[in-house]
Amino acid sequence: MSDREWNRVTIGLDAHRWVTRRDCKTILAVVHTVTSGQRLLDTIRLIESDLRVQVVFTMAPDVFNNGVEQFIEGLGGVVIPWLQATQQRFDLALSASLGSIHEIHAPLVVMPHGAGFNKLVPARNGAKAEDRAPYGLDAQRLMRDGVVLPTAITLPHEAEVKRLARTCPQALPVAEVVGDSSYDRLVASLPHRDTYRQALRVDPGQKLVVVTSTWGPQSLFGKHASLLPRLLAELPREEFRVVALFHPNIWFVHGIWQVRAWLAGHLRDGLTLIPPDDDWRAVLAAADWIIGDHGSVTLYGAATGKPVMLAGFPHADVDPASALARLAAVTPRISQRGSLRDQLDRTAKKMRPGHYRSVIEQITSEPGRFDHNMRCLMYRLMKLQQPERVLVIPPVPAPSLAT
C-alpha cells in the first residue's frame, strides 16, 4: 500500500463523520512479517465482540515484508499505510517484532513471535555465546536514546525475567509474564487430532511424519534438504505420510512458486506441503513423529507428547539457557547412516510419559493462562473495564488445503 493512499474514514480528524460506532478505542496491529502477523491474531482475538474497540492494521518496515500486505488485506480489516500509522495516536499498539517501534505513538505491547527467546543476536567480531543476548531481550532493540520503548514486554515464562535483568535491566519495570498463546492453543487442539489427520488425508493405519524447517542457511531445508527425498524413498507410502512444514520466511523470500518448483518432484512422490497460511499447530497435533531444527515449531512439537528428532542444530546460535537448548539436550539426531525407519522406531520405543516435561516447563510458566493475562493487560492499558465474557481457548482450524 502506498503511503499516499491514506485511510481518512476510520481514523483521523474527519472520522466522526463516517463511522457508525463512535468513540471507539483504537488498537493498531503492527505487522512486520507474516510470522509476526499470525502471532498477533491470537491476541487480537481477545477483544473480538467488544463494540467499544476498533482494530486497524499497518505493515511496518522489515526485510521480510514480502507477503505481509496480502496477509493483512486478506483478514478483511482496515489497513493504513505505515506513514499514516506513525502520524496518528492510538489507544494501544500491538507488535510481535521490534523494528521501527520507536515511531509508534501509543501504549505499546511487544511480544515474541515464536516460542520465547531462544535465538541469540548475530555474532559480531567473534563474540562468544555468553556475550550475546537473546534476540528480543536485547537492549539494542528494546531501547532508544536511553529510553525503553515498549509500555509492556510480554514474557512466556517467569525465568525470562531473570534473563531480561541480565540483558536489559532498564526494561524490568515493564515486563509482564503472560504465558504463551501458541502453546495454549496447541494443547487445546490436541483432542482434535483425528479431525486434523483427516484434513491432511492420513489414512487409518498410516503414520504421519512432520518435517519442519525454520528459515536460513543453518535450517533443515537450508542445510539438510536431502532428508525429504530420503524419507519419501525409504518409508512405504501405504504406511507413512510425510508432511513438510516450512517457516513463512522461506515461502516469502524465495517465492511461493519457487518453493513449489523446488519440491515438485517430491510432491509427485507423495510429499504433502503445507501452505504458509494454514495453521501449523493443527499439523503438529496430527503428527506421529516430528523432525525439525532450531525453529520454534520444533520446540512446540514437544508439547504434543510425540517423538521429536533433530536434523542438525546450530548450537552457536541458540541461547544455552533457553527451552530450545534443553530440547536439544534430550532429543536424538537423525543420522545420515542407517535406515530412517529404524531410527524413527527406536525413538518411538524410547519415549516414556513425561519425556519432555523439563522442556515443556521451560516454554511457559502460565500454561492455559495467556488469554486471561493478556486480556487483563490490554484492557488496563486502554483504561477500559473488561467484558464479562468468559474466555475459552479455541482449537485451531483444520488445514484448509494440503497439497
> Residues 41-54: what's their mean pLDDT?
95
For 85-97, what is the mean pLDDT?
Answer: 96
Q: Is residue 6 part of a domain?
A: no
Asked if residue 56 is part of any domain, the answer here is yes
pLDDT at 125: 58
Same domain for 329 and 275: yes
Instruction: Identify whether residues 30 and 171 lie together within a single domain.
Output: yes
240 inside domain: yes
| Residue 371 confidence (pLDDT) above 90 | yes
Residue 9 confidence (pLDDT): 65
In a domain, 4, yes or no: no
Q: Does residue 396 fall inside a structural domain?
A: no
- Residue 236's domain comprises 192-363
Question: How many domains are there within the chain?
Answer: 2
Which pLDDT does position 402 carry in this prediction?
A: 47
CA 164 – CA 155 distance, rounded (Å): 10
Confidence of residue 18 (pLDDT cuts 50, 70, 90): confident
Same-domain status, 76 and 225:
no
In angstroms, the CA 243 to CA 74 distance is: 25
Confidence of residue 240 (pLDDT cuts 50, 70, 90): very high
Q: Is the pLDDT assigned to residue 341 strictly greater than 90?
A: yes
Which residues are bridge partners to 148 per DSSP?
Answer: 143
Say how far apart CA 180 and CA 17 lie, in whole Å.
40
Any idea which of 6-15, 135-144, 215-224, 337-346 has the lowest mean pLDDT? 6-15
For residue 236, the domain's CATH number is 3.40.50.2000
Mean pLDDT of 231-258: 96
Q: Are residues 98 and 212 in the same domain?
A: no
Percent of the chain exceeding pLDDT 90 equals 82
Q: What percent of the chain has pLDDT over 70?
A: 94
Q: Is residue 378 part of a domain?
A: yes
Same domain, 274 and 349: yes
User: What pTM was computed for the model?
Assistant: 0.93
pLDDT at 127 over 60: no
Asked whether the predicted pLDDT for residue 1 surpasses 50, the reply is no
